[in-house]
Amino acid sequence: MAKPGKVFIFFNCDADKSEASMNIFYNKAVYKDTKTSRKNLWKKVKEEYGAERIQIAADNLKTVELAITEGDPVEASNFIQFGAIREIECY
């Protein structure tokens, strides 16, 4: 069997980040682990932030951006309220 890759999914969710509140059909997108896809994931997070559907402390915006574009996008979830990024295997 081939080694799995990974994709990232952005979810809008409740304050507790409960899995029951994460609806994959709401945003309908997955982001590959490539520079271009990570930039698109950051764009999505910025759109949600600008529309006030998620909250990020202003002093954490750069931390979130760097985690998404260069580090571990899942770690960005620690700084996002009402939103989460999850990783799943992709074959």
pLDDT the model gives residue 1: 73
What is the residue whose two structure tokens read 């682990």?
Answer: 33
DSSP class of residue 79? G
At residue 4, does pLDDT exceed 90?
Answer: no
At residue 83, does pLDDT exceed 80?
Answer: yes
Question: Cα 26 to the chain's mean position, in Å?
Answer: 13
At residue 71, does pLDDT exceed 90?
Answer: yes
pTM for this entry = 0.93
Segment 4-8 mean pLDDT:
94
Segment 30-54 mean pLDDT:
98
- Quick check: 85 and 77 in contact, CB under 8 A? yes
Segment 24-45 mean pLDDT:
96
Segment 28-56 mean pLDDT:
97
